Amino acid sequence: MNLYREQLIESAIVAVVMIGLRMVISYFVNRFSDRKNKVKQRANLVMKYVDFILVLIASVFAFLIWSLNARDIGVYASSVFALIGIGFFAQWSVLSNMTSGVIIFFTLPYKIGDRIKIHDKDFPIIAIIEDIKGFHMNLRTDDGGLHTYPNSLIMQKGVTLVQDGVATRIVEPVDGTQDNEHFNKPV
């Protein structure tokens, strides 16, 4: 027991710090969710991403605390990064949509239940947001059609909040462009 006492104490400290950090982040995400009238389920989704990142950080500290040979860590890390690299290269859009989902949660002014118009030259959509998932939005059109629209495309297109057939305000895409020709016109 005395042989690993220092490592056990350091591991306990890291665990307490990570749990405390998670509680603080959770408090601020939930507070933001409540203040901006976001759905609680969306806050829980963001917290899953935060938990994943905290576990990765805690794992790095565990490797350092328990004095694993740096060469061994390099072998494990290169193997993991190779698998992750192949997976993300093959599924780059998954990472893009997941990141966009987090950005949508914190920055964009529309939420579940809002009626929006997506300004897409080839496939414009006027629909009500039924749900915002980690990778896509579920949009319900007036004819009852259900569309799943990738979060990364929502970030790239101009989106107008619509009320009673009239555009009320336009939301600029992240790249700074704006489609003003549809602003304050009946839809």
Please tell me whether residue 134 adopts helix, strand or coil conformation. coil
Q: Which residue among 61, 90, 119 closes a domain?
A: 90
Per-residue pLDDT, averaged over 150-166, amounts to 80
Residue 50 has pLDDT above 70, yes or no: yes
Domain end marker among 90, 119, 154: 90
H or E stretch at 127: strand 125-132
Number of domains in the chain: 2
Token pair for residue 83? 């698998």
53 and 6 both lie in a single domain: yes
**What does the pLDDT read at residue 16?**
94
Domain stop point among 90, 121, 141 = 90
Same domain? For 71 and 24 the reply is yes
Q: Is position 98 within any domain?
A: no
Tell me, yes or no, whether 146 lies in a domain. Answer: yes
Domain span holding position 29: 2-90
CATH of the domain at 157: 2.30.30.60
Same-domain status, 145 and 174:
yes
Q: Are residues 78 and 115 both part of a single domain?
A: no
Q: Is residue 30 part of a domain?
A: yes
Q: Is residue 38 part of a domain?
A: yes
Paired tokens of 171: 């939301």
Does 137 fall in a domain? yes
Domain shared by 83 and 122, yes or no: no
Same domain? For 117 and 44 the reply is no
Per residue in 87-122, pLDDT tens?
666 566 677 777 888 888 777 777 888 899 999 888
Cα–Cα distance for residue pair 15/70, rounded to 1 Å: 22
- Cβ neighbours for 159, distance < 8 A, ≥ 6 positions apart: 108, 110, 116, 117, 118, 119, 170, 171, 173
- In terms of pTM, does the model score above 0.85? no
Residue-wise pLDDT for 8-25, tens only, equals 888 899 999 999 999 999
Q: What is the per-residue pLDDT for 86?
A: 66
